[in-house]
Amino acid sequence: MEISANFDGGNIIFDSARQTDSANHAYLRIRKDIGAEFMQWFYFRAQNVKFQHLVIHITNASEAFSPEGWSGYQVCISYDRKKWVRCNTHYDGNELKIELDSEHNMVYFAYFPPFSYEQHLDLVAKAQISPLCNIDALGKTVESRDIDLLTIGEPSDSKKKIWILGRQHAGESMASWFVKGMIERLLDANDAVSIKLLSQAVFYVIPSMNLDGNIAGNIRVNGAGRDLNREWANPSEEFSPEVFYVKNKMLSIGVDMCLDIHGDEELPYNFVSRIDGIPNFDERLAKQQKMFSEAWKIISPDFQDKYGYPVDKPGKANLSICSKNIANTFRCLALTVEMPFKDNANLPDPEQGWSVSRSEGFGASLISTLLMIVNEL
């Protein structure tokens, strides 16, 4: 058996292997984020394993950013990098053990189905073909990649300005699949809901905030080792240019609503992180926040508001976090959307868990939800 991770988004360290009469064992470690101490994302492949019983030991799992996230988690595997399914995984408090009877000579393992840089480039290139969409580069990342902004709809002073930010945290690839599903529906010229929504709103979409971290195989940080979702109070052009340029553009255009799309390691649910604790929270924002959640629950059974993060006490929100900072700065509804790395416990899928198709569908469901509340923003 050979183990490798030298590709876009790859992350694993090979330590050793041994073969017994019943299994082929590999002992691996997850590499820490480049420039930081975070560690949880992995993506690698095993070769020369056809018809073998594999036992993969990730020996430093207990040192992960969120070791609680391994409880109830099942690893994603694929033979063709298109169809991803879950496989038998067990966490004993120290190591993560993955067991698989391999059907082919090569198999990929990932924390969640990856969304590569090439897929990002394909997404924005395809989107710009639509007459509804315009693409601009706001600036460069730390490693000089373009920070792409898609403007969808015809800008007008009479329309609401809705911002969608994808994948501030590098390893939360479900955010990219969510944004892809949302963009494809929004650009569907035969979708009556999208047509109606774009008559009332214009969308400003950053499909991937953290391209450098994505490519490096990080779980959270960018190319300078910064957690972008903790940079919004005082972004740096040198160390967090992704936030610096996006926030400056927001200040020049304005914001009526912002959704920051993420994944959560521990909770097996889809939910939003609320803004009750910002200094500028008032009855108008409380009404909008409740209205949005109630509308999404009607539109998508994948969304719920029973489980989520603790609500901040009044005036105690961390304004370095994107959604809190944007809500407070622009006095608008701004929320963090969280999806699971595990499964949606309310509507589980034993084969795939929370998946690519569910993430895309959840993103598409946002369009109907927004149409229900856009006049109240």
Catalytic residue numbers read 338
Residue 14 is encoded by which pair of tokens?
A: 């090979």
If you write DSSP's letter for every residue of 42-93 in order, what string do you get? -EEEEES-TT-EEEEEETTGGGSS-GGGGTT--EEEESSSSS-EEE-EEE-S
Go through 13-36 and write b for each residue having 16 or more CB atoms within 10 A of its CB, e for each that does not: beeebeeeeeebbbbbbbbbbbbb
Buried b (16+ CB within 10 A) or exposed e, 334-369: bbbbbbbbbbbeeeeeeebbbbbebbbbbbbbbbbb
How far the first Cα of the chain sits from its last, in Å, is 56
| Nearest-angstrom CA–CA distance, 303 and 354 | 12
User: Which pair of structure tokens corresponds to residue 107?
Assistant: 């198999």
- Which residues share a beta bridge with 90? 97
Interstrand relation of 201-206 and 160-166 (parallel, antiparallel or unpaired): parallel
CB count within 10 Å of CB 180 equals 24
Query: 284, 285, 337, 287: which is closest to 308 by C-alpha?
Result: 337
Which stretches of the chain are DSSP H helices?
117-128, 174-186, 192-198, 211-216, 241-253, 283-299, 322-330, 356-373
